[in-house]
């Protein structure tokens, strides 16, 4: 999984996709994100990366999709993979270090755990201030 997440990290660095983090550019702040919406985004990301739809995201799948998404980002200047901001990737790398593949439930649990860590007031809503590390 470390290699898988390295591939995803490479993709995210190129796409700068912010689901749980604030955009790096001067675009307006992301709207508040509910826990249920975070779960939906986790499922959308998982579905995009699980290219053969076998219920496991592998390093090969992440690398193949990553190359495609980087090309889309370069061509359009738009984020083709919402959900993989920098904080999220660091969290996932730590959580799945040494694992060869990730199943949907593992990915959902990790994304929700990350959401809960960032939701400092534990109200089930991730605000722009919380994304930036404030309260």
Predicted confidence pLDDT, tens digits, the chain (135 residues):
555 555 555 444 433 333 444 444 555 556 889 999 999 999 998 998 899 999 998 877 877 887 787 788 788 877 666 655 666 767 777 777 777 789 999 989 988 999 999 999 999 999 988 887 754
Looking at residue 19, its pLDDT comes to: 43
61 contacts 47 by C-beta, under 8 angstroms: no
Assign residue 124 a region: left if phi > 0, alpha if psi is -120 to 50, beta otherwise? left
**In the chain, domain spans:** 2-131
> CB 92: neighbour CB atoms within 10 A?
22
User: d(Cα 82, Cα 63) in Å, to the nearest integer?
Assistant: 17
The pTM (predicted TM-score) of the whole model is 0.69
Looking at residue 104, its pLDDT comes to: 95
What torsion do the CA atoms of 17, 18, 20, 22 make, to the nearest 10 degrees?
150
User: d(Cα 119, Cα 123) in Å, to the nearest integer?
Assistant: 7
Reduce the DSSP state of residue 9 to 3 states and report it.
helix
Give the H/E segment covering residue 41: helix 35-49
Looking at residue 85, its pLDDT comes to: 60
Name the pairing type of β-strands 56-58 and 33-34.
unpaired
User: d(Cα 5, Cα 58) in Å, to the nearest integer?
Assistant: 9
């Amino acid at each position: 999984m470390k290699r898988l997440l390295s591939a995803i990290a490479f993709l995210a660095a190129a796409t700068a996709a912010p689901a749980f983090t604030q955009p790096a550019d001067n675009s307006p702040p992301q709207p508040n994100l509910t826990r249920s919406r975070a779960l939906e985004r986790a499922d959308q990301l998982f579905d995009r990366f699980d290219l053969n739809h076998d219920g496991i995201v592998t390093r090969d799948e992440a690398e193949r999709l990553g190359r495609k998404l980087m090309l889309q980002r370069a061509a359009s200047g738009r984020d083709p993979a919402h959900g993989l901001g920098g904080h999220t990737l660091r969290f996932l790398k730590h959580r799945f270090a040494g694992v060869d593949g990730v199943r949907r439930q593992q990915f959902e649990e990790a994304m929700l755990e990350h959401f809960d860590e960032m939701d400092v007031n534990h109200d089930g809503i991730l605000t722009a201030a919380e994304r930036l590390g404030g309260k």
